[in-house]
Structure 1
Amino acid sequence: MCVSTPVSADFINESKANLDTRNFYMNRDFRQSGAAQSKAEEWAQGFILRFESGYTDGPIGVGVDATGLLGVKLDSSPDRVGTGILKSNREAPRRAQDEYGEAGFTAKLRASKSTLKLGTLQPVLPMLMRNDTRLLPQTFRGAWLSSNEVKDLTLDLGRIDRVNQRDSSDNEEMTVFNGGRRNIVLGSVKASDEFLFGGASYKWTPQLSTSYYYGGLDGIYKQHLVNLVHQLPLGEGQSFKSDLRFARSTDDGGSNVDNDAFGALFTYRLGANGFTAGYQQMSGDTGFAYVAGADNALINLVQINDFGNQDEHSWQLRYDFDFAALGVPGLTFMTRYINGDNVDRGPGLSEGKTWERNTDLAYVFQEGPLKNLGLRLRNASTRSNIGSDLDENRVIVSYSVPIW
């Protein structure tokens, strides 16, 4: 604390701290597929404490961020373990631990409009998206430089060496996701301690933006991603949004990764209504490659599937409604249906097919003593001849408390 008064004031006065709580119940039913375990069902309470400091004064400002994560078991058993909301032991019989957590710290340096972060990171970038769909978020460890020196241009460059999965408290090496019918074959290198990324996003007009990003998991795969987003106003209360994405993935000496992924998503908004249609196509010798446990940039990444298997073609229809138009602000509804086919199942086998249906109902209290309390119900069903048939329900109660 041996700093001058102006420095101390900037560092402290611009700081903020927030506590997010999540009460998470999840039930995944395997009975439709005849699986050995009939269902996964668990209930837990999560706490996410985030602190972000300001910066010291001077040409290079110095700051620090901290994250504290804690998950507490409320209900689980060996015959219902495996939802991903609790950490469980790796030896049989699997049991969920009573609690788990981690503390992460990030040093940050700011010069002009550029920021360098070192330590715990939670990137949301096309080639690397932290997964935050369970009790606690996935985190990464590394260095990330982000620059906005040129107006409307964002540049990103970084290196990641470890990942902490959403149901873990261990920093581990990374590998590529290979579920479903990805058909990715790894050589002697099964995991990597280096993910390099870089890219740029530019906003040409308030309605048009484009981006290019590169991401590579050393010794396993490398990937180039291009994205174009255009928002077309159509008059009062109406708009049409186009979102086009293309990714080229190849091996990096230690796998057979070879994939082209194309996606197009179109959304028409009319008042409180949103109508969306999308198409996604995989081609090449494997399915889409990305870091295991993370989210990805595919347009058909939904509650259970991402429809990124080898040669898979899929389409999506979606409807959204905002009940603020009916005098109930904070209440929203979403439903969608995704259908995929043409999956390569191997010589002599028919094409692989999958469909998934999602429904999401959410409400956030807008005022009164329960302001910022959020309630969310999520339901999903999927049927497939290349994976398990699943019925899933999630109930999430969240609350955010500003501390500083």
Structure 2
Amino acid sequence: VLKYGDMMPELPVLQYDDSRLLPESYTGTFITSKEIEGLELNAGHFTEEARKSAEGRDSGHLKSIDVFGGSYKFTNNFTASAYTSNIEDVMKKHYLGMNYVFPIAVDQSLTLDFNGYKSDINSKYVQKAELTGDENTIWSLAATYAFGPHSVTLAHQRSTGSTGYNYGWYQDRGGVGDGGSTIYLANSYWSDFNAEDERSWQLAYGLDFGAFGMPGLTYKIAYVAGDNINTHGFGEGKEREIFNQLRYVVQDGPAKDLSVKLRGSWVRTNNAVQQNGYFDDGNEVRVFVEYPISIF
């Protein structure tokens, strides 16, 4: 399938941000192939970016982004994907993802999910964005045990290199320009826990109320703690976050598939992180309402 025009890509190296009333979008050419069973290949060349909740097709002042990669379903339980992107005058980014599901019983399973990025940053962009270095490697490994309507997740995430993981924002503002959701990592909620040399752990719990006669209603709570942040002279940086989300999807009737999410996050950082300018304390509550409309 060959497409040209305004699109909202959903790839690990180019993922649009829909956290505002109007989502980000990209203008370019995109081709997808699914000729081989279980294999999906994607390639694209994009030259314009529309900022979220902003007028103008190229309000993000993007130069160009080339993306290539794909995913393959090796077995019913194991899927892997690999992607690469070349963001003109900014960086080259490479991604690897693997997901394996271990069936334990009829209503029990253990899922292992790995995601990792390797970024090689252009020296001119390092100076423009005032970064501390020109390369970063970041990865996360999450283990989720699901039993009945419950799920428990334990995850570890680690960032190494001479700078933190950079993504999103807009090139005319000193950003990367590859989409505000281009961070397929386990510990990314309000804070991304993606600072230079940061290590973080997550413990999360999820509940599906469908088992209690309320189909479509789900809840998740997560606690993430990060440390070892290199603040370049201000001491060891630390941060922590509590994330909550209650979501309901209408199951039938005229409003079928209408989704309402209530999300709350509480982030706390130490003085070293605040003085370094990486992140600050904050409380956030958001409400998301989404309603898909099929035109054709």
Same fold (TM over 0.5): yes
Partners of 1:356 and 1:172 in 2: CA distance: 34
Counterpart for residue 273 of structure 1: 150
Q: Which amino acid aligns with 2:72?
A: Y
Counterpart for residue 345 of structure 1: 231
Q: Closer, same or farther in 2 for the Cα pair 1:396/1:165, shift >3 Å? A: same
Greater mean deviation of Cα atoms: 117-126 or 292-301: 292-301
TM-score, normalised to structure 1, is: 0.64
Q: Which amino acid aligns with 1:148?
A: K
1:225 to 84, 92, 95: 95
> 1:396 aligned to 2:288?
yes
> 1:142 aligned to 2:28?
yes
SS in 1 for 2:118: strand
Query: Displacement of 1:395 after TM fit?
Result: 2.4
Partners of 1:364 and 1:200 in 2: CA distance: 30
Alignment of 1:4-403 (within 5 A): 115-172=1-58, 192-254=62-124, 255=126, 256-292=133-169, 293-295=179-181, 296-302=183-189, 304-347=190-233, 349-368=234-253, 370-385=255-270, 386=273, 387-403=279-295
Query: Displacement of 1:320 after TM fit?
Result: 0.8
Query: Displacement of 1:170 after TM fit?
Result: 2.4
Q: Closer, same or farther in 2 for the Cα pair 1:162/1:242, shift >3 Å? A: same
Q: Which amino acid aligns with 1:156?
A: N
TM-score, normalised to structure 2, is: 0.86
Q: Closer, same or farther in 2 for the Cα pair 1:366/1:215, shift >3 Å? A: same
Q: Which amino acid aligns with 2:187?
A: N
Q: Deviations over 1:113-135 (max 9, x none)?
A: xx111111111111111112222
**Is the 1:161–1:173 Cα contact (8 Å) retained in structure 2?**
no
Partners of 2:161 and 2:142 in 1: CA distance: 22
Partners of 1:401 and 1:149 in 2: CA distance: 28
- Between Structure 1 and Structure 2, whose CA radius of gyration is higher? 1
Q: Closer, same or farther in 2 for the Cα pair 1:396/1:346, shift >3 Å? A: same
Greater RCO, CA 8 A, separation 6+: 1
Q: Where does the alignment leave 5 or more consecutive residues of structure 1 unmatched?
A: 1-114, 175-190
**Is the 2:28–2:46 Cα contact (8 Å) retained in structure 1?**
yes
**Is the 1:265–1:276 Cα contact (8 Å) retained in structure 2?**
yes
Q: Deviations over 1:261-291 (max 9, x none)?
A: 1210111110111111111100110111223
Q: Closer, same or farther in 2 for the Cα pair 1:401/1:126, shift >3 Å? A: closer
Query: Displacement of 1:141 after TM fit?
Result: 1.1
Query: Displacement of 1:219 after TM fit?
Result: 1.4
Partners of 2:121 and 2:11 in 1: CA distance: 21
**Is the 2:15–2:180 Cα contact (8 Å) retained in structure 1?**
yes
Query: Displacement of 1:242 after TM fit?
Result: 0.6
Partners of 2:108 and 2:9 in 1: CA distance: 32
Partners of 1:402 and 1:153 in 2: CA distance: 27
Counterpart for residue 24 of structure 1: none
**Is the 2:264–2:286 Cα contact (8 Å) retained in structure 1?**
yes
Q: Closer, same or farther in 2 for the Cα pair 1:208/1:355, shift >3 Å? A: same
Q: Closer, same or farther in 2 for the Cα pair 1:401/1:244, shift >3 Å? A: closer
Partners of 2:20 and 2:63 in 1: CA distance: 25
Q: Deviations over 1:169-212 (max 9, x none)?
A: 223376xxxxxxxxxxxxxxxx7511111112111111111111
Q: Closer, same or farther in 2 for the Cα pair 1:403/1:161, shift >3 Å? A: closer
Aligned length: 272
Partners of 1:134 and 1:317 in 2: CA distance: 28
Q: Closer, same or farther in 2 for the Cα pair 1:156/1:370, shift >3 Å? A: closer
**Is the 1:244–1:264 Cα contact (8 Å) retained in structure 2?**
yes
**Is the 1:192–1:219 Cα contact (8 Å) retained in structure 2?**
no
Q: Where does the alignment leave 5 or more consecutive residues of structure 2 unmatched?
A: 127-132, 170-178, 274-278
Query: Displacement of 1:365 after TM fit?
Result: 2.7
Query: Displacement of 1:368 after TM fit?
Result: 4.2
**Is the 2:226–2:238 Cα contact (8 Å) retained in structure 1?**
yes
Partners of 2:88 and 2:156 in 1: CA distance: 31
4+ runs of 1 displaced by more than 6 Å? none
CA RMSD of the aligned region, Å? 1.8
